[in-house]
Amino acid sequence: MLFNRKLMIALFSLFVISLVGTVGYHFIEGWDLGTSLYATVITLSTVGYGDLYPQTAEGRVFTMFLILFGVGTMFYTVVLMTETMVEGRLRILLGRGKLEKIIGKMQNHYIICGCGRIGHLICRELAAEKVDFVVIDNVPEVIQSIQEEGFAYYKGDATSDRTLLDAGIKKAKGIVCVLPSDAMNLYVILTAKELNPGIFILSRSEEEESEHRLLRAGADRVMSPYTLGGMRMAMAILRPAMLDFIEITTRRQSLELRMEEISICEGSPIVGKSIGESEIRQQYGLIIVAVKKDSGKMIFNPLANYIIEKGDMVIALGEEKNVNEFSKVCLL
**pLDDT bucket at 1, cuts 50 / 70 / 90:** very low
pLDDT at 89 (0 to 100) = 52
Give residues with Cβ within 8 angstroms of 58, minimum separation 6.
28
Phi/psi at 307 (5° precision): -90, 125
pLDDT at 147 (0 to 100) = 82
pLDDT digits (tens, 9 = 90+) for 253-292: 555 677 888 888 888 888 888 888 888 888 888 888 899 9
Q: Give the integer Cα–Cα distance in Å for 258 and 101.
A: 35
**pLDDT bucket at 105, cuts 50 / 70 / 90:** confident
Q: Does residue 84 or residue 150 have the better pLDDT?
A: 150
Give residues with Cβ within 8 angstroms of 71, minimum separation 6.
43, 44, 46
- Position 28: which residue type? I
End-to-end CA distance of the chain: 50
CATH hierarchy code of domain 257-330: 3.30.70.1450
Sign for the pseudo-dihedral over CA of 144, 150, 156, 160: negative
Looking at residue 306, the DSSP 8-state letter turns out to be P
**pLDDT bucket at 111, cuts 50 / 70 / 90:** very high
pLDDT at 80 (0 to 100) = 74
| The pLDDT of residue 97 is above 80 | no
pLDDT at 93 (0 to 100) = 45
Q: Give 236's Cβ-side CA count (13 Å radius).
A: 7
pLDDT at 83 (0 to 100) = 67
Average pLDDT over every residue of 4-18: 81
Sheet holding 153-155, edge to edge: 153-155, 133-137, 110-113, 174-177, 200-204, 221-223
Average pLDDT over every residue of 142-165: 88
Q: Does residue 176 or residue 75 have the better pLDDT?
A: 176
For residue 119, the tally of other CB atoms under 10 A from its CB is: 22
Among candidate residues 117, 112, 146, 161, the one with its CA nearest the CA of residue 132: 112
pLDDT digits (tens, 9 = 90+) for 49-72: 667 778 888 888 888 888 888 888
CA angle 264, 265, 271 (to 5 degrees): 70
Among candidate residues 96, 94, 89, the one with its CA nearest the CA of residue 152: 96
Q: Which CATH architecture has domain 2-99?
A: Orthogonal Bundle (1.10)
Sheet holding 298-300, edge to edge: 258-263, 313-318, 287-292, 298-300
Q: Give the integer Cα–Cα distance in Å for 168 and 153.
A: 11
> What is the model's pTM?
0.62
Q: Give the integer Cα–Cα distance in Å for 299 and 314.
A: 10
Please tell me the least confidently modeled range out of 1-5, 101-105, 110-114: 1-5
Q: Give the integer Cα–Cα distance in Å for 140 and 115.
A: 11
pLDDT at 243 (0 to 100) = 83
Q: Give the integer Cα–Cα distance in Å for 259 and 286.
A: 10
Range list of H helices, 150-256: 161-166, 182-195, 210-217, 225-238, 240-250
**pLDDT bucket at 3, cuts 50 / 70 / 90:** very low
What are the residue boundaries of the structural domains of the chain, listed by start?
2-99, 106-228, 257-330
CATH hierarchy code of domain 106-228: 3.40.50.720
